[in-house]
Structure 1
Amino acid sequence: MRNYVRCALLATSTLVATVVAAAGPAKPQKRTNFSPIVDTRGDISFPARFPEGYQHIGTWAVLGAEGVADTHNVYARPKDVIYFRKNGRFPDGAVIIKEVLEAIGSGHTTGKAYWGERGKTWFVMVKDTHGRFTTNPLWGDGWGWAQFDPKDRSRQIATNYKTDCLQCHVPAREMDWIYVYAYPALGEKALRFTPEAARTGGLKAGEGHRVAVADDASSGTSTTAEQRKVLAGKQLFDSACMACHSIKAGEHGIGPSLFGVIGRMAGSAPGYAYSDAMRNAGVTWITENMVKHLMDTRGFIPGNRMGSMFKGVSTSNDGDSIAAYLATLK
């Protein structure tokens, strides 16, 4: 019986050729022995019966310009939690799941409160202590990495863990790429990694908060409108941007260093692994373009990674203030 070969371009931009016999569809790949959600090619599936068989281990609240922008709920299997509490590391085949929700908030008797509402994405990591899938670009550094469409969890959308996933985990390299200190269920062996700044309160006076910038009457000095804009921009940057971006030359984190960014071509800072969308955008970061990007992080340069993590500032004045502050970093 004649076979037909057809090629489909998946949403992950990976070209996959599948041979389909006229007698029926091809059989699915077998699962591996070490993980029921990983097939023999290393493709990771979202656990079909989640949240059954998983426990919540911790939640992140990620700040935006006007409060909490996202909540990140993290889950693991109870047996993996028990193993970590005993050994201080995750066992082979351990599964970590993170649900990212867009946060909303309102006034409550306890004050302004925020909670997750609309799903933004899902991440799944599978521990691999044996380096099993050396030719699969979603495996490396001891883990399998996957990201799933929030509206269709059967659709895996990451293409390469180094460009799509790893950058967000660089500060946690000493913790096997997982920010274990944020997950109380993992016990003392995880909490010992808590950053000193967090233990001591971290922020200096005036940092990380939207406070009014006024003239310093006590010293007899005054600030210009441009100086006030720069100061406001720094405060916005500290609360909304600093978690991902450094202001030191060449010091990249989740995002690239923003030292000298104004006047620079998008996607051109040496040493940072940009997405194809950013690297090929052809955009120069003049003030006008920076404000447009900050106002519409998903739409100004479609497909860039920042758009999936930060929805942008709420007003053009905020964007203009941040751009004014960035212009001083040189």
Structure 2
Amino acid sequence: MRVSAKTAVALALALGLAACGAPKDDAAADSGSAAAATPAETPAASATTADAGGKPAAFAQCAACHSTEKGKMGVGPSLAGVYGTKSGEIAGYAFSDAMKNANLTWDDATLDKYLTAPMKVVPGTKMTFAGLSDPAARKAVIEYLKTLK
């Protein structure tokens, strides 16, 4: 079966967005299968454990849509140098009006609140990620973001 380039791109984008926090499937969660666990359901220790490059495990959800290379945009903007900037300020990305007008500064407190529930903090954001409920995972991601220059 041949798939058109447009179909392949649409499928890749759909899969990437699904990784950004699709709602938990209760039937799969109730099955008791370890394979049914989502990253948000993993224990805090594994969500905060960093790889050899210092990237916390919880950041895998972010990496589905965001690059850590300056100027390299994905579905979302590059996160290189984002710490300390204003919302909607990263050059080269088409932010939603909601994000451009949110007037947030990406510091520890703001990132913690935003990463808990992005769509509640900035209604109308393009970021459809449901959020990181684990405070230790959020802290690990924020500490990692501080290292990205």
TM-score over 0.5 for the alignment? yes
**TM-score normalised by length of structure 2:** 0.71
Q: 1:108 to 1:263 in 2, by over 3 A?
A: same
Q: Does 1:319 align with 2:141?
A: no
Q: Match for residue 75 of structure 1?
A: none
Pairing 1:113–2:113 present:
no
> Which of 103, 128, 134 in structure 1 is aligned with 2:24?
103
| Bigger relative contact order, structure 1 or 2 (CA pairs below 8 A, ≥6 apart) | 2
Mapped partners of 1:305, 1:244: distance in 2:
11
Aligned residue identity for 1:246: S
Q: Specify the code of the residue in structure 1 equivalent to 2:106.
A: W
C-alpha distance after superposition, 1:120-178 (max 9, x if no partner): xxxxxxxxxxxxxxxxxxxxxxxxxxxxxxxxxxxxxxxxxxxxxxxxxxxxxxxxxxx
Once residues 299 and 112 of structure 1 are traced to their aligned partners in structure 2, the CA distance between those partners, rounded to angstroms, is 29
What's the counterpart of residue 59 of structure 2?
A: 237
Q: What TM-score, normalized to structure 1?
A: 0.34
Structure 1 runs, 4 residues or longer, greater than 6 Å off = none
Alignment of 1:1-330 (within 5 A): 60=15, 62-63=18-19, 69-70=21-22, 102-104=23-25, 105-108=28-31, 111-113=34-36, 210=46, 213=49, 231=54, 234-238=56-60, 240-306=61-127, 309-330=128-149
Larger radius of gyration: 1
Once the two structures are TM-superposed, the CA of residue 321 in structure 1 deviates from its matched residue by: 1.1
Whichever residue aligns with residue 103 of structure 1, its letter is K
- Code of the residue aligned with 2:133 in structure 1: it is S
Coordinate RMSD, CA, aligned: 2.9
Q: Work out whether residues 19 and 64 of structure 2, in 8 Å CA contact, stay in contact via their aligned partners in 1.
A: no
User: In the superposition, relative to structure 1, how do residues 113 and 287 fare at CA in structure 2: closer, same or farther (>3 Å)?
Assistant: same
Aligned 8 A contact 1:106 1:112 in 2: no
Q: Is the 8 A contact 2:86 2:105 kept in 1?
A: yes
The one-letter code of the counterpart of 2:144 is Y
Tell me, which stretches of 5 or more residues in structure 2 are unaligned?
Answer: 1-10, 38-45
Higher helix share: 2
CA contact (8 A) 1:236 1:318 kept: yes
Work out the number of aligned pairs and report it. 125
Consecutive unaligned residues in structure 1, runs of 5 or more: 1-56, 71-101, 115-209, 214-226
